[in-house]
Amino acid sequence: MTTWIDGTAGTCVDPGDRGLQFGDGLFETLRIDAGRPCFWPRHRQRLAAGCERLGIVGLDWPRLEEELHALAARQPRAALKLIVTRGSSERGYRAAAAVPPRRILRLAALPEPPAAPLRVRLCAWRLAIHPALAGIKHLNRLDQVMARREWDDPGVAEGLLLDRRGRLVEGTMSNLFLVRDGRLLTPDLSDCGVAGILRSVIIDRAAEAGVELARRALTLDDLAAADEVLLCNSLLGLCPVGRVEGIGEFRSGPVGRRLQQQLARQATDDSSNWYPA
């Protein structure tokens, strides 16, 4: 694990950092392949949207990108976590003006991909409805921590989360797609959830892959009726789900395979949205 804090290698974060004090910041988890960050333009766009939403101003983007590419180049394949906080403050919720945001970059080994098709479970923990914080990848992640605490079985790769109204939202660390009658469905995330990067790629390219797509409210009935269930995140890619505990078994199918093939082609098609073949 290599850590850079505001451009300097180190293992020392100011205890007054607002990320620690309040979860007052954002993060991105990037896949590094061939020493390059995959889909950085999309991560950058989401991070910028998060800064805009939280009112975090003054992030030194040129230095951040320089650091990101320099750190990525150190390891051919890796997971890079990038945290941006509102910087440090003395006491209280109010942030001092003119304090620069803090950049924390950590390079770690890429996790082993779980055995596909995935075995997943339903979490009992429910996500709150909170449109003002939905979509962005902020540092208030107790929901995900608490949901992930529900199981220890290493054979269970992920837990699916419902919101308080009983709608399917996402996995603790992944986004969800269902296939029904050849059509791709993914939860609308305007009430809660994280708008994942690979999710955005799949949404944008579904038409090219000849797949009709709808973003809408989804329930456990939709899950049970699905022909294919798919989970995706930046580190693991797009994975078929073979079984959801308490719901049923699913098969890898043609829509998931077509989307996987399309993601693999990105490596050559689009260097700005680099993705490993």
Instruction: Tell me the window of 7-15, 181-189, 213-221, 265-273 that interacts with its own copies (CB under 8 A).
Output: 7-15
DSSP β-ladder status, 237-244 and 248-249: antiparallel
Tell whether residue 214 is a contact of its own copies (CB under 8 A): no
Residue 50 CB, shortest distance to its own copies, in Å, is: 11
Residue 111 CB, shortest distance to its own copies, in Å, is: 7
Q: Which of residues 107-126 bind its own copies (CB under 8 A)?
A: 108, 111, 125-126
Tell whether residue 252 is a contact of its own copies (CB under 8 A): no
Of the residues 28, 67, 158, 170, only one is catalytic, namely 170
Of the residues 28, 67, 85, 137, only one is catalytic, namely 137
Of the residues 28, 29, 85, 228, only one is catalytic, namely 29
Contacts of 45 (CB under 8 A, 6+ apart): none
The pattern of x and - marking residues 125 through 164 that bind its own copies according to CB under 8 A reads xx-xxx-xx----xxxxx-xxxxxx--------------x
Closer CB to its own copies, 1 or 62, in the complex: 1
Cα–Cα distance measured from residue 9 to residue 32, given in angstroms and rounded to the nearest whole number: 19
The pattern of x and - marking residues 16 through 45 that bind its own copies according to CB under 8 A reads xxxxxxxxx--x------------------
Q: Which DSSP string corresponds to 110-171?
A: PPPPPPSSEEEEEEEEEEPP-GGGSBS-BS--HHHHHHHTT---TT--EEEEEETTS-EEEE
Cα–Cα distance measured from residue 195 to residue 180, given in angstroms and rounded to the nearest whole number: 22
* Residue 100 token pair: 């620069």
Residue 161 CB, shortest distance to its own copies, in Å, is: 12
Closer CB to its own copies, 54 or 64, in the complex: 54
Cβ contact 183:214 at 8 Å: yes
Angle of the 40-54 helix axis to the 61-72 helix axis, nearest 10? 140
Contacts of 53 (CB under 8 A, 6+ apart): 132, 133, 136
Contact positions vs its own copies (CB under 8 A): 1, 3, 5, 11-24, 27, 54-55, 79, 81, 83, 85-86, 90-95, 104, 106, 108, 111, 125-126, 128-130, 132-133, 138-142, 144-149, 164, 172-173
